[in-house]
Structure 1
């Protein structure tokens, strides 16, 4: 069971949950920039949340399969076609041998995910399949994918229905948040003057084109470290906000280095890191300071919402003859016109209802 890439965009990589427990050896986790979006794509295909899928920024490319499968695209609205037929992001669909799946670039976001039933089953490297581009680990030869690559899939059941969320999602993303990006001060906030710390929350920052899976550089507002922009290198984590000599803060992401020698004015709370990373180039935002305990509580609540969303997925109408779909419908809560249930199914198959 394989997927063949007919074409591939420039930032198409294989990612799973990431490799952990190796930071002391200089190996950062890699994995998805937006873990919740990838978890949703996998769940829609019947996979475990951390199964290997595709992450892309820019067009994903086009794909064919040698056996029928289910796929889902999440993280952003995208133009998705099976041959010439448009299908929606945020729910799973069937792809059959002989058909070509084409996925265009994300709209109004930066990172999106395509999962396939059974998951991508490339060999494990240091316990994970995630691609770490800067060190050449994982995926296929540790690189971005390209035309002609063949991706093996794990075991899959052809009878499993396609799924959708019980309620429509905003922008095909699993978690909808708004407001300032929350930031936990430190560990080197004492390197900055009171004026610089005030600018951190009073001024607006923008997302610059200088970004990749390692980090994103912020613009519009600069910060100056009164005690200098060099420190003895110490540990960094995804979300660390380093301030180099240019004064333009950079936020570390999934493929960040494990140590750094720039002072870190704060750390983006995990609850908001993916939201920040998803902002398109030119978008403006502000920071809001919170405590570490507040950040932990917010993250736990967010994870609970994600678990509920994934647990509440329902079978799609294209599987209406299956018991899973019938059980997802409220057939006894009131009076129904049978055509309301059958009409979208028949129309999708080119039929008519009266």
Structure 2
């Protein structure tokens, strides 16, 4: 069990979300950066979808109310356990009474704190994720507050692992170097209305930078950059959309739907961010510049398979190295 020592309405319990519920009007929810969450869980011996804390308001402080294992992944943050500094993307033991502090990221936007067993909150529609729009899931459908205590699911001890284990996915170090420049690239596929935008709009979308505005949250990011006009005005009936959909309202400024994406919308769609790159968008802070690079479906599927295969390989490696009770 841990006790939260800082207020942070945007800091919420998330797992891998509620796939398959969008047709019923329920957002996917789940971690914005599923790569970070799943590997944080791997570092403490959890299933990939165990519930963890997604942190985007810093500094974050919590106190351990029992001996456990923890891992912090995601954004490039300074992490301290009492006076000891903990390496990023690293798992280790904590004892009763110790305090963890996660400082404001040097690069990135969201950190993930996983504890051995995962947080024991009531599953709703097959997930422990928080839905802030619907006010359900997680801890009462809300963000975490000072004084909240979170229980853990009961699992067998793995024994002492004070030194801990660390792992960093192959694409993360290069991503940090890219993000240090203040700009990142994400790959996209053309969406249904792509050909209804002007040639100038399509060129701008693929070659200009778009900045993440302060109007950015788990539902989506409003971006600022060159306008993206249509060939002619049009109206669409509301239709299904998914995380990664890039919509263009009448203002001509794109909106990228993310983990808590609306389940339907009527704005024209110019592109969709490929699933393998959604974690990159999750780590884009306000003011970061985004570049969109068009790709094809074969490349998108290949990138996702490679990501899934690497996670499976890292999980197997960690399983061989983990301490035993």
Deviates more, 1:106-115 or 1:277-286: 277-286
| Alpha-carbon separation, structure 2, partners of 1:273 and 1:166 | 20
The one of 311, 315, 321 equivalent to 1:306 is: 311
TM-score, with structure 2 as normaliser: 0.90
Structure 1 205/294 Cα, relative in aligned 2: closer, same or farther at 3 Å? same
Structure 1 8/311 Cα, relative in aligned 2: closer, same or farther at 3 Å? farther
| 1:222-261, Cα deviation, whole Å (9 max, x unpaired) | 2112333642111100000000111110100000110001
The one of 211, 220, 230 equivalent to 1:206 is: 211
Deviates more, 1:162-171 or 1:285-294: 162-171
| Alpha-carbon separation, structure 1, partners of 2:174 and 2:318 | 14
| 1:270-294, Cα deviation, whole Å (9 max, x unpaired) | 1112112312222223212112232
| Alpha-carbon separation, structure 2, partners of 1:217 and 1:139 | 26
| 1:113-157, Cα deviation, whole Å (9 max, x unpaired) | 000001001011121100011111201110011111111101133
Q: State whether structure 2 residue 110 is matched by structure 1 residue 105.
A: no
| Alpha-carbon separation, structure 1, partners of 2:298 and 2:169 | 32
RMSD: 2.6
The one of 253, 258, 262 equivalent to 2:263 is: 258
Q: How does 1:319-334 map to 2 (within 5 A)?
A: none
Q: Report the counterpart of residue 71 of structure 1 in structure 2.
A: 70
Unaligned runs of 5+ in 2: none
Q: Report the counterpart of residue 22 of structure 1 in structure 2.
A: 21
Structure 1 243/161 Cα, relative in aligned 2: closer, same or farther at 3 Å? farther
SS of aligned partner of 2:306: helix
Unaligned runs of 5+ in 1: 325-354
Q: Report the counterpart of residue 331 of structure 1 in structure 2.
A: none
Q: How does 1:52-201 map to 2 (within 5 A)?
A: 52-59=51-58, 61-162=60-161, 163-165=164-166, 180-201=185-206
Shift of 1:23: 1.1
| Alpha-carbon separation, structure 1, partners of 2:196 and 2:154 | 53
Query: Relative contact order, CA 8 A, sep 6+: which one is greater?
Result: 2
Q: State whether structure 2 residue 251 is matched by structure 1 residue 246.
A: yes
Structure 1 48/112 Cα, relative in aligned 2: closer, same or farther at 3 Å? same
Shift of 1:89: 2.0
Q: Report the counterpart of residue 297 of structure 2 in structure 1.
A: 292
Shift of 1:66: 2.5
TM-score, with structure 1 as normaliser: 0.83
| Alpha-carbon separation, structure 2, partners of 1:148 and 1:241 | 39
Q: Report the counterpart of residue 35 of structure 1 in structure 2.
A: 34
| Alpha-carbon separation, structure 1, partners of 2:225 and 2:201 | 14
Q: Which has the higher strand share?
A: 2
| Alpha-carbon separation, structure 1, partners of 2:239 and 2:168 | 44
Shift of 1:188: 1.3
